[in-house]
Amino acid sequence: MHRTMDPETRTDAFRRFYDEHFHRVYNYLFYRTGGDRATAEDLCSDAFRKALEAMDRYSGDKGSERAWICSIAANALRDHLRRKTLRGWLGLDLLADPAGGETPEAELERDESLARLSAAMAPLGTRERELLALKFGMRLDNREIARQTGLSETNVGTILYRALGRLKAALSKETP
């Protein structure tokens, strides 16, 4: 995305950007809002509106488009949480496509899985849940997560490894 784009090129560039990143941004916000579809949709809309407004200022030398929209989405979420003081974040890529339609049976199964996941994630710290959301919701690699959070890439990997181990142990205790 460049500053010197004519309106038609700018529209095409944003359409490509939106199509490429929508599901990741939506998934990230969906998980971080505890599966609240309406809130995730509102925040996703807000994040892409802000991205469109700032599109001419985007510079690829400061990071990837994915990291840029992730940062915008995270800021939209922080603003929302500040206003609403929400708790109970989620962070794993549990659903194949939470943006798509589901049968009632699939939705019930998903809701049960989300409840199990939420209970298993409750003992994890805020930082662990945030890193899991970035990894599995936004599908960022450890290097991109490190840039987003200010942690070292090694530290990100270690925290994710330990958090996933704790999560796996918690979920396996529930399984008969």
SS3 29: helix
* Sequence-ordered list of residues with C-beta below 8 angstroms from that of 150, at least 6 positions apart, any chain: none
The owner of tokens 């936004």 is 138
- Tokens, residue 81: 């949480």
| Domains of the chain, first to last | 7-174 (1.20.140)
Please report, in angstroms and rounded to a whole number, the separation of the first and last CA atoms in the chain: 52
Whole-angstrom distance, CA of residue 153 vs CA of residue 146: 5
Residue-wise pLDDT tens digits, 65-90:
888 898 899 889 888 877 764 344 44
The owner of tokens 């794993």 is 92
Whole-angstrom distance, CA of residue 107 vs CA of residue 149: 33
pLDDT tens, N- to C-terminus, the chain (176 residues): 545 567 788 888 889 999 999 999 998 898 888 778 889 999 999 999 999 988 888 877 777 888 889 889 988 988 887 776 434 444 444 444 454 556 777 777 777 777 787 778 888 888 998 888 888 888 888 998 998 889 999 999 999 999 989 988 888 886 55
